Amino acid sequence: MITDPTRQRALRGHKPTRPNPRAANTAEHQAVLAWRLTARDKWIARMLWEHRVLTAHQLTALAFPSFRSGRMRLRELYTWGVLDRFQPFVTVGTAPMHYVLAPAGAAVLAAEDGVDVKEMGYRHDRVFGVAHSLRLAHTVGVNEWFTALVDRARHPQPGEQATLAVWWSETRCARHFGDLVKPDGYGRWQHRDQHGDRQVEWFLEYDFGTEVLGKLAGKLTGYAALAQATGITTPLLVWLPTARREATARRLLVRAWRELDDPRVVPVATAAADLLNPDAAHPSPADEVWLPLDTHAGGGRRALPGLLDAWPHLPPPVTPDDPTALGFETHPLSPPPPPMPPTAPPHAPGRHGRR
């Protein structure tokens, strides 16, 4: 859960799974996949290519009505060679299955984009390398953070509509902004209720309790340089594991923020995971947990769209249909997939391959 992420030190190896018969990645098999794969299946493959690794629980929250239906479909996609999976060993309990993109899935995406798998940049060994990465827990934690927003949008409160319109991975952010900053993600939240329509965008810094907080505060100069280079003011959201660590981080962030030439170009808000209600049906970063760094804003903790009240000088977000407006060239072969899953078509009787 987003309120209790798994720490990197709890991952001690990788539990072997029972062997399952899998289809070979041949031209004939890819032809069969043409009628077996739904739009949602291909969306899942693109999400895994974009975000490297997603757990079974995350994929279920993102795209399926129940864990049982998600588990069944993911097993089929694994058997067909569209997805690969591994299960980290944890010292207590059992870790969920972690899914990555398999060769047959990469071939499908490359064919859709009209490129070769090599041009796409896919390598099976590198994809599976995340299983042994020392940043596995951090990557899964960031993906859990955004997954919680999608899950919240799929289960709105009465009288509201919400959607996560944009979700960029750490890799994509580094590709566009890496000369100045390397945020853990970029997102945009659209919210509609009786008070009207609101859109808020942000860069995310996801702290796992292991980074030196002075280094975190030092990143503000990079975000200020990015705002100056692009002429775009983008808020920075800093997510911390506990309220106690948040209080320490805020003291360092305020000091660094006030030393900027123009602090207004880097609006900052902080929140802590233990402020979320673990008994809520769908706790998420959209809840009332954010505290702006500028104490003159007042108002205490705010929900995600309520941050706009603390930053009235913010211009409307750049349209997601024109990423070049951010001031950086986009990659022509891999546009980011929409964070919200496609609408599933009605089930056709007798087509057991389509769930």
Q: What percent of the chain has pLDDT over 70?
A: 88
pLDDT at 351 over 70: no
Contacts of 61 (CB under 8 A, 6+ apart): 147, 148, 150, 151, 154
Residue 115 pLDDT = 93
Residue 349 pLDDT = 41
Q: What is the mean pLDDT of residues 104-123?
A: 94
Contacts of 305 (CB under 8 A, 6+ apart): 189, 191, 198, 200, 286
pLDDT at 193 over 50: yes
Residue 354 pLDDT = 45
170 neighbors 183 (Cβ within 8 angstroms): yes
User: Measured over all CA atoms, what is the biggest interatomic distance in the chain, rounded to whole angstroms?
Assistant: 66
Q: Give the model confidence (pLDDT) of 221-279 as tens digits.
A: 999 999 999 999 999 999 999 999 999 999 999 999 999 999 999 999 999 999 999 89
E-assigned strand segments in the chain: 11-15, 54-55, 83-90, 98-101, 161-168, 185-193, 196-206, 236-240, 268-272, 291-292
CATH of domain 8-132: 1.10.10.10
Q: Give the model confidence (pLDDT) of 77-108 as tens digits.
A: 999 999 999 999 888 888 999 999 999 999 99
pLDDT band at 195 (very low <50, low <70, confident <90, very high): confident
Residue 10 pLDDT = 67
Residue 270 pLDDT = 98
At residue 195, the 3 state secondary structure works out as: coil
pLDDT band at 330 (very low <50, low <70, confident <90, very high): very low
Distance, CA of 214 to CA of 252 (rounded, Å):
7
pLDDT at 346 over 90: no
Q: Which of 9-13, 96-100, 334-338 has the highest mean pLDDT?
A: 96-100
Residue 19 pLDDT = 56
- The structural domains of the chain, with segments of one domain joined by +, span 8-132, 136-326
Distance, CA of 282 to CA of 61 (rounded, Å):
10
Q: Give the model confidence (pLDDT) of 133-178 as tens digits.
A: 999 999 999 999 999 999 999 998 888 899 999 999 999 999 999 9
Distance, CA of 191 to CA of 286 (rounded, Å):
10
pLDDT at 332 over 70: no
Residue 328 pLDDT = 45
Q: Give the model confidence (pLDDT) of 19-43 as tens digits.
A: 567 877 888 888 899 999 999 999 9
The DSSP call for residue 130 is: G
pLDDT band at 345 (very low <50, low <70, confident <90, very high): low
E-assigned strand segments in 229-276: 236-240, 268-272
